[in-house]
Amino acid sequence: MIATLTAPKPPPENENPALGSKPGFQIPLGSAHLTRCPKKWQRVLQAFLAGRTLNRFEAERIGDHCLHSTVSKLERKGLVIFRREEKIPGYLGLATHCCRYWLADTSRPRASELLGEIVP
């Protein structure tokens, strides 16, 4: 006796078995979707307000892979950010050129305002 295999019948186009059969059905995400982590520009601005200076490699530690673009975005929001070119040890100890950025003291009230903090 030879058994024949048949492929399972695909669901109708408007039915997705992973999501259920009701249109618009969504999988509940729990409370994880209610808490959002700060956006990249907010994390960088918080670091600047804390008195830190950053170069592109240090910014990687707070999740910014393109610091010069984030700095540009912050400047478009009305902040003054200083920069200085520096050489740091790179691959095989060879010098790597990059910029170090920091927030101007005159921009601290605006930075606090952007982050929603109360400025004393």
How high is the pLDDT of residue 110? Answer: 96
Say what the alpha-carbon torsion angle 53, 57, 58, 64 is, to the nearest 10 degrees: 100
Tell me the domains of the chain and their CATH numbers: 38-114 (1.10.10.10)
**CA-based end-to-end distance of the chain:** 87
Among candidate residues 48, 110, 105, the one with its CA nearest the CA of residue 76? 110
How high is the pLDDT of residue 96? Answer: 93
- What is residue 113's three-state secondary structure? helix
How high is the pLDDT of residue 37? Answer: 82
How high is the pLDDT of residue 38? Answer: 86
How high is the pLDDT of residue 36? Answer: 73
pLDDT, averaged per 10 consecutive residues of the chain (120 residues), comes to 59 52 51 69 95 96 95 97 95 94 96 79
- What is residue 82's three-state secondary structure? strand
Residue 82 near residue 101, CB atoms below 8 Å:
yes
